[in-house]
Amino acid sequence: MKMMRMTGAWPFLEFASAPISPPMASQEIESLSGALARLPGLGPRSARRAVLWLVKNREQALPALLDALGAVQETLVECETCGNVDTQNPCGICADQRRDAKSLCVVEDVADLWALDRSRLFSGRYHVLGGKLSALDGVRPEDLAIGSLLDRVAEGGIDEVVLAMNATLEGQTTAHYIAERLEEHSVRITQLAHGLPVGGELDYLDEGTLAQALRARRPV
């Protein structure tokens, strides 16, 4: 009963005084695990599992991964107009003349831009803020791409600005701030509707979401 022995005090003392090998296999694995653990959504445990998987599948998986990482390093750039990440500057969306130049959708991050664009429901162009206002994290308006947004709108030719911030307190504070700053321009400011998710059941919704859904109700 190994587990039983581990609960007592003395086996630990015995264990600690015994000559043991270092906890991780090698410096290489340690540093790769550490690098992966810094990725969003990956903690130290899952990073180590990913490294182990890579080691086991190195013949098939590593060359493709190294190529992809190299391509990211060498070819990807940030679009100076909208903040999107692409292989060209201006990015494919900004350069696409078929896009509706009159509509501009403002998002917090590039991932939000990609999510919206995958839906193919918005035919205009985008503006990536690079985050959201946050008193807690010390993010001020000048830390975000709000100045360049106002410049784009001031240049003219834009009729509608869609504020597509996340439905979080900070996201909505950011949207409110931008709406105020845009007031002096003659653009229509709209916001994504909040409320009932597709497939959602009323019984499971939190009060905030339910309240938003009620407020945003529309004629059938």
Interface contacts to Zn ion, rule CB under 5 A:
79, 81-82, 84, 90-91, 94
Question: φ, ψ for residue 125 (rounded to 5)?
Answer: -110, 175
Asked if residue 126 lies in contact with residue 109, where contact means CB atoms within 8 angstroms, the answer is no
| Comparison of 54 and 95: residue with beta carbon closer to Zn ion | 95
* Burial zone of 147 (CB within 10 Å; 0-12 exposed, 13-18 middle, 19+ buried): exposed
**Least Cβ distance, residue 157 to Zn ion (angstroms):** 15
**Least Cβ distance, residue 145 to Zn ion (angstroms):** 11
| Comparison of 33 and 84: residue with beta carbon closer to Zn ion | 84
| Comparison of 91 and 110: residue with beta carbon closer to Zn ion | 91
Provide the 8-state DSSP code for 120: T
| Comparison of 57 and 87: residue with beta carbon closer to Zn ion | 87
**Least Cβ distance, residue 153 to Zn ion (angstroms):** 15
**Least Cβ distance, residue 94 to Zn ion (angstroms):** 3
Structure tokens at 115: 């999510």
**Least Cβ distance, residue 16 to Zn ion (angstroms):** 57
Nearest to 146 by CA among 107, 116, 113: 107
The whole-angstrom separation of Cα 29 and Cα 42 is 16
| Comparison of 47 and 104: residue with beta carbon closer to Zn ion | 104
Q: Residue-wise over 64-86: b if at least 16 C-beta within 10 A, else e?
A: eeeeeeeeeeeeeeebebbbbbb
| Comparison of 78 and 159: residue with beta carbon closer to Zn ion | 78
**Least Cβ distance, residue 206 to Zn ion (angstroms):** 35
Asked if residue 104 lies in contact with residue 161, where contact means CB atoms within 8 angstroms, the answer is yes
**What is the torsion angle, in degrees rounded to the nearest 10, for the CA atoms of residue 147, residue 117, residue 109 and residue 180?**
40
| Comparison of 90 and 130: residue with beta carbon closer to Zn ion | 90
The whole-angstrom separation of Cα 193 and Cα 212 is 8
**Least Cβ distance, residue 99 to Zn ion (angstroms):** 10
